[in-house]
Amino acid sequence: MTRPKPPVNPLGPVLLAVAAVVFLGAAYLVLGIGKDALLYAISAFAAFSLPVVIVFGVAGIILGVHRFVRGRKP
């Protein structure tokens, strides 16, 4: 019998990319090495965060418009 896979956090790759940017940015600032790796980490962060921002942004806009249109019930 197979077990169901645990749910995946959609922010996991984004948080890993942020950690890479922070680590490589500190290494570049302190030691002056890793400029190419830092640029790659920044581009990976942008690529990973764009779908998350779009999905949660669209959901937030839809919920906001829904609340605005529905209004308050007396």
* 4-44 confidence digits (pLDDT tens): 887 878 788 889 999 999 999 999 999 999 999 999 999 99
Region of 72 on the Ramachandran plot (φ > 0 left; ψ -120 to 50 alpha; else beta): beta
Q: What share of the chain is helix, strand, coil (3-state, %, to 5)?
A: 75, 0, 25
pLDDT tens-digit map of 34-71: 999 999 999 999 999 998 889 889 999 998 888 888 86
The verdict on pTM exceeding 0.85 is: no
Report the C-alpha gap between 29 and 14 in whole angstroms.
22
Is 74 a residue whose pLDDT tops 60? no
Report the C-alpha gap between 48 and 17 in whole angstroms.
8
